[in-house]
């Protein structure tokens, strides 16, 4: 979900093609790599004893970045850029970074849940393929992205708890930070993007089906919907959303439906395009007699308008 800055499929090619990632056909062979998180905290503890900034930069370089996995090497190039940038981020959010260690260390205990989601995906879609997943600590700018090594998750973006210090956080970061308990759902959602085969998304409808389809299948395989909070508003305003979406769905402008946290009105949540796409996919699935074929159809939409019509969303069969 891009409100947590995940990089997802944007055109008519797969994430695999975009990133060059090597994919696994067997969920049992997927690597869930957390060694970089351990290395980060080892470097963090050593650097905390130094007051000289240049020495702290050198410590993070030698003890964290230089020891990195293939995923961290990709993440450095794509997001972190340098040890100097990492130290700048830590120094800018010292209370926040100091608070997230327990959450980031919890990730290694989630492997069983994530692998179970992949196995469920494989059982309902035998053609499914899966990226290796790397958990890293970055500069608080990316919840996740993809690289040649696989799916790269910025662990520091999932450290939010009821005790999180927020006074030093900019508004946008307060909005996008999530709890570590959401990570299995995020990984499930993203695994769906690796398996989509869709035409280029040039309309609001197409974008909603691309993202909402992954919300639905991600929920189906993991039990988590990363946009679950939107269901309350969506259920209470179903007719209004249907009307507004129908008026806009064939247009290229998605700005009122996606990635609009900064411009959304206070009485209407951001990113409602996810919810509408989810509801279309949900209706299609519940209408289908063959559920496995329905999953295949959701992942391989060739005609967005026909899929929309076949879903029955405009009658709100299922809510």
pLDDT, tens digit, 9 for 90 and up, residues 251-267: 999 999 998 877 777 78
Q: SS3 of 270, please?
A: coil
pLDDT in tens, 48-74: 999 999 999 999 999 999 999 999 999
Give 19's pLDDT tier (boundaries 50, 70, 90): low
Top pLDDT among 260 and 99 is at: 99
* pTM as predicted: 0.87
pLDDT at 266: 79
What pLDDT band is residue 27 in, cutting at 50, 70 and 90? very high
Does residue 5 carry a pLDDT above 90?
A: no
Q: What is the pLDDT of residues 213-224, one digit of tens each?
A: 999 999 999 999
Over residues 113-156, the pLDDT tens digits come to 999 999 999 999 999 999 999 999 999 998 888 889 999 999 99
How many residues are recorded in the chain?
319
> Taking the CA atoms of the chain, what radius of gyration do you get in angstroms?
20
pLDDT band at 226 (very low <50, low <70, confident <90, very high): confident
User: What separation in angstroms does the CA of 137 have from each of 35, 47, 90, 146, 178?
Assistant: 11, 15, 11, 15, 14
| Residue environment code for 57-94, b if the CB has 16+ CB neighbours within 10 A, otherwise e | bebbbebbbebbbbbbbbbbebbbeebebbbebbeebe
Q: Do residues 23 and 16 touch, judged by C-beta distance below 8 A?
A: yes
What is the Cα–Cα distance from 256 to 180, expressed in whole angstroms?
28
The domain ranges of the chain are 2-193, 204-315
| 22 pLDDT tier (thresholds 50, 70, 90) | confident
**pLDDT at residue 255, rounded to an integer:** 94
- 154-187 pLDDT per residue, tens: 999 999 999 999 899 988 888 789 999 999 999 9
Q: What is the pLDDT of residue 1?
A: 42
Q: Can you give the pLDDT at residue 7?
A: 40
CA dist 50 → 44, 61, 87, 96, 145 (Å): 10, 14, 12, 19, 32
Rounded to whole angstroms, the Cα distance separating 214 from 269 reads 20
Instruction: Please give the average per-residue pLDDT across 6-10, as a whole number.
Output: 36
Q: Classify residue 23 by its DSSP letter.
A: E
Between CA 298 and CA 209 the distance in angstroms is 8
């Amino acid at each position: 979900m891009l409100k947590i800055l995940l990089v997802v499929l944007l055109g008519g090619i797969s994430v695999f093609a975009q990133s060059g990632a090597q994919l696994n056909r067997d969920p049992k062979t997927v690597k869930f790599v957390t060694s970089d998180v351990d290395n980060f905290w080892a470097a963090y503890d050593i650097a905390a004893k130094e007051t000289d900034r240049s020495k702290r930069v050198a410590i993070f370089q030698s003890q964290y970045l230089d020891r990195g996995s293939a995923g961290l090497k990709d993440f450095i190039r794509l997001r972190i850029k340098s040890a100097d940038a990492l130290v700048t981020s830590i120094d800018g959010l010292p209370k926040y970074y100091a608070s997230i260690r327990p959450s980031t260390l919890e990730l290694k205990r989630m492997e069983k849940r994530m692998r179970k989601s992949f196995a469920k995906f494989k059982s309902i879609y035998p053609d499914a393929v899966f990226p290796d997943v790397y958990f890293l600590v970055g500069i608080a700018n990316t919840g996740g992205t993809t690289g040649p090594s696989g799916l790269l998750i910025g662990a520091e973006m999932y450290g939010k708890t009821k005790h999180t210090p927020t006074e030093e956080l900019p508004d946008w970061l307060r909005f996008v930070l999530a709890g570590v308990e959401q990570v299995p759902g995020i990984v499930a959602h993203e695994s769906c993007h690796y398996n989509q085969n869709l035409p280029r998304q040039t309309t609001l409808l197409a974008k909603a089906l691309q993202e909402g389809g992954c919300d639905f299948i991600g929920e189906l395989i993991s039990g988590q919907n990363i946009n679950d909070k939107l269901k309350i508003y969506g259920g209470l305003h179903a007719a209004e959303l249907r009307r507004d979406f129908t008026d806009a769905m064939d247009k290229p402008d998605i700005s009122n439906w996606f990635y609009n946290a900064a411009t959304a009105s206070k009485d209407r949540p951001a990113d409602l395009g996810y919810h509408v796409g989810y509801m279309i996919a949900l209706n299609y699935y519940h209408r289908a007699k063959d559920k496995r074929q329905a999953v295949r159809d959701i992942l391989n939409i060739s005609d967005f308008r026909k899929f929309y019509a076949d879903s029955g969303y405009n009658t709100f069969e299922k809510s």
